[in-house]
Structure 1
Amino acid sequence: MANPIPGKPVRGSKSGQPIMALLDLLGRSWAMGIIWHLFKGPSTFRKLQDYCESISPTTLNKRLKELKESHLIERTIDGYALTKHGEELYELIEPLGGWAKKWAKTFD
């Protein structure tokens, strides 16, 4: 599956609306987890693999490549880190974590 790019067909949008391209990217396994983890600071491939528990090296490499091509993460001398766009995205999705916890309680 190709990296979702705004303006190109993506899952859920033949016209590639930017929000749909973003949701396609974030819906891929471990994409949001990697962003969540990197908000705490740069991380090496090995630390990311440990954080993601069951992720295969192939999948992690693919996800890192997609996130780099999407300008959300970058490679630094300290490992992988969020770009300015990645940090802005985290700040937007972080409140969803709190909301999701409240929402989850409605299933108790």
Structure 2
Amino acid sequence: MVALDLFGRRWSLRIVWELQRGALGFRALRQHCDNMSSSVLRQRLTELMEARIVKQEPDAAYALTDFGQGAYRALRPLARWSDDWAGALADGYPATEQETPT
């Protein structure tokens, strides 16, 4: 459950998602994250570094660790589901489905 607490914090998953393509400096990462506030980004990066999900490279860029890469791989099915869900909403899929009793 610790992972759910960590990734449930606003922006944590977005940071992991943005770093999956490679290391980014602070400003570039902030821009990729819709210019989130600097203080929140610093706080989330600190939390993710303490959890060994993100590391800071010698050139000061931020990158995913092996654990961070594993977290990204775990997120991919959720991203696929999200695409399907968004497509269904765009197609006017009913807001609720009738459930069949089991």
The TM tier, using the shorter chain, reads: 0.7 to 0.9
Please identify the structure whose Cα radius of gyration is greater. 2
1:54 and 1:81 mapped to 2: Cα distance? 18
Displacement of 1:36 after TM fit? 0.6
Which portions of structure 1, spanning 4 or more consecutive aligned residues, are displaced by more than 6 angstroms?
Answer: none
Aligned 8 A contact 2:23 2:63 in 1: yes
Displacement of 1:39 after TM fit? 0.7
Which of structures 1 and 2 has the larger relative contact order (alpha carbons within 8 angstroms, sep 6+)? 2
2:88 paired residue number: 106
Please tell me the residue identity of whatever aligns with 2:44. Answer: R
Question: Which of 3, 7, 14 lines up with 1:33 in the alignment?
Answer: 14
Q: Note the residue ranges of structure 1 that are not aligned, 5 or more in a row.
A: 1-19
Displacement of 1:90 after TM fit? 0.5
Q: Note the residue ranges of structure 2 that are not aligned, 5 or more in a row.
A: 93-102
Pairs aligned (count): 89
What percentage of aligned pairs have identical amino acids? 38
Displacement of 1:62 after TM fit? 0.1
Residues 1:23 and 1:67: Cα distance change in structure 2 (over 3 Å): same
* Alignment TM-score, normalising by the size of structure 2: 0.81
Please tell me the residue identity of whatever aligns with 1:97. Answer: A
Question: Which of 33, 36, 50 lines up with 1:52 in the alignment?
Answer: 33
Displacement of 1:77 after TM fit? 2.3
CA RMSD of aligned residues (A): 1.2
